[in-house]
Amino acid sequence: MKTHSIPVRVYYEDTDAGGIVFYANYLKFCERGRTEYLRFCGFEHKQLRDEKGLIFVVRRLEADYLQPAHLDDELSVHTSVGEVKNASFAMRQDVMRGKTTVFNMTVWLVCVNLEGRPVRLPDELKKVLEKG
Q: Which residues are catalytic?
A: 16
C-beta separation of 103 from 58 below 8 A? no
Q: Where are the beta strands (DSSP E) in the chain?
A: 3-9, 54-65, 74-84, 88-97, 100-113
Name the DSSP class of 26: H
Other residues' Cβ atoms within 10 Å of the Cβ of residue 127: 12
3-state secondary structure of 46: helix
Q: How far is CA 95 from CA 34, 36, 55, 63, 116, in A?
A: 12, 14, 24, 11, 30
